[in-house]
Amino acid sequence: MFSKNTLFFSFLTVFILLSCVSSEVKLPIINKAFLEDKNISEIESMSFRNQFNKEFSVTSLKGKVHLVNFFFVSCTTICPIMAHNLKDVVLGNNNIDLLSFTIDPENDSISVLKKYHKNVAENVPNWTFLRGNKKDLRNIAKLYLSYITNNGSDDSYFYHSSSVVLLDKKMRIRGVYDSLDKEEIALLERDIKILSKK
């Protein structure tokens, strides 16, 4: 036979558990750069081509939850780990697209990107590798709150962060995650699910 106190605490525990399950994490809106008029015309003037040498407009992803990161094919330090972790996120998940911009357009030709795509993400149709000119790369990186730089010369880029940026269906930045960190990747996967329901 249950005492009144036991029943009270049982109901209280169930109530707390249900409250925790039903309460949704609120993701902040970090940046609205892709919604501002002054940026839209600049974005539309940028030119990027994918690994199949087709023109790609960044704004074509409006209405889809998507991710963005920066890399270069000859990177042997953090890029392979980033690619592995991000592949796990997007593989088989039709609710998300991933854009990876090369920061070394001089060496990462379309044919190089196509070969890289085949080696790294052949079975991931929602992963696009993009190449553009240096000016457009600098500008798009700023809008994505990403840091890329060169090796001291104006001719080549050789540094990028390990960040991956999450955008919602309205192209608002909702999160920035370290793609080398498994705990951050777990948070990213959780946040993708939250945004995909909206």
At CA 159, angle to CA 41 and CA 122, rounded to 5?
75
- Asked if residue 160 belongs to a known ligand binding site, the reply is yes
- Asked if residue 79 belongs to a known ligand binding site, the reply is yes
Tell me the C-alpha to C-alpha distance, in Å, between residue 161 and each of 68, 103, 118, 156, 177.
12, 11, 24, 16, 10
Q: Which helix (H) or strand (E) holds 64?
A: none
Nearest alpha-carbon partner for 180 in 91, 74, 89, 96: 89
- Asked if residue 20 belongs to a known ligand binding site, the reply is no
Nearest alpha-carbon partner for 55 in 123, 116, 110, 119: 110
Which residues are annotated as part of the binding site?
Answer: 75, 79, 160
Residues at the binding site for Cu cation are: 75, 79, 160
